[in-house]
Amino acid sequence: MPLAKLQVRLLASTPNPLSLIYASFRQCYSPGYVGELWPRLLAGEVSLEEQARFVSDILESGHHSPIEHVSFTFAVEGISRALTHQLVRHRLASYSQQSQRYVNESEFEYVLPPQIAEIPEARALFEHFMAEAAGTYGRLRELLQERGRKGVKANEDARFVLPQAAESKIVITMNCRSLLHFFALRCCERAQWEIRAMADQMLAICRRELPVVFQTFGPRCEALGYCPEGERFTCGRYPRKQ
């Protein structure tokens, strides 16, 4: 039962994302038809630098809806079920998660919280429980199979003893506007450490792929220049708005 390791990989994104956002913004402010502009954009008649400047200027005005036309799809592994329970609360997204009904979890990996890992006694207790959970899961599957409940039928009942620390894998698709909201909340220091670590990796990928949209966005404090949290909740990284 090895420890799980977080990994985030970009599977796909909308082709020509900058040009698509540029064309979408142009349609909002132009009497013309961007269907005729589009071939010119693909031919390079409007430089990417000019497109980026225009998009950046409009984003600064607070107009964000056209960036919804661009989406990113990520594959993530090495995360806990505790994380995915938080993740799926972001409803403007699509998810495909590894099933505990169809996958035999007898040798499940698990996520070890850093704060527990730092305390030898706590780590030993945690790892003992993981081993106990795996043993109980395996024995339950055996007993169910002896009663004729094979494969999925055994997994779906035995999985009830699996801990939230059990590792999971998931595919996530979000459009850019949903990602901005996701990063604003989950890259914040107040976010739970595991989902923040995943969000930070996703943000780094988005900044690399589409910097004009994501370079100045992240946790809300970075975009605002001040902390929007109340006095009880601020981490002190940015001053609170007075």
We report the CATH number of the domain holding residue 45 as 3.30.1360.170
Q: Determine, yes or no, domain membership for 139.
A: yes
- Nearest Cα to Cα of residue 108 among 171, 170, 161: 161
Within a domain: 51: yes
Nearest CA to 100 out of 162, 171, 8 is that of: 162
Cβ-proximal residues to 124 (8 Å cutoff; 6+ apart), any chain = none
Beta bridge partners of 173: 73, 94
Q: Which structural domain range is residue 206 located in?
A: 8-75+168-224
Residue 219 and residue 105 in one domain: no
SS3 202: helix
Residues that are catalytic: 186
- The answer for 10, left when phi > 0, alpha when psi is -120 to 50, beta otherwise, is beta
pLDDT tens profile 119-175:
999 999 999 999 999 999 999 999 999 999 999 999 999 999 999 999 999 999 999
Which pLDDT band, with edges at 50, 70 and 90, does 237 fall under? confident
In residues, how long is the chain?
A: 242
In this prediction, what percent of the chain has a pLDDT beyond 70?
100
For the entire predicted model, the pTM comes to 0.93
- 69 shares a domain with 28: yes
Residue 95 is assigned to a structural domain of this protein:
no
Total domains in the chain come to: 2
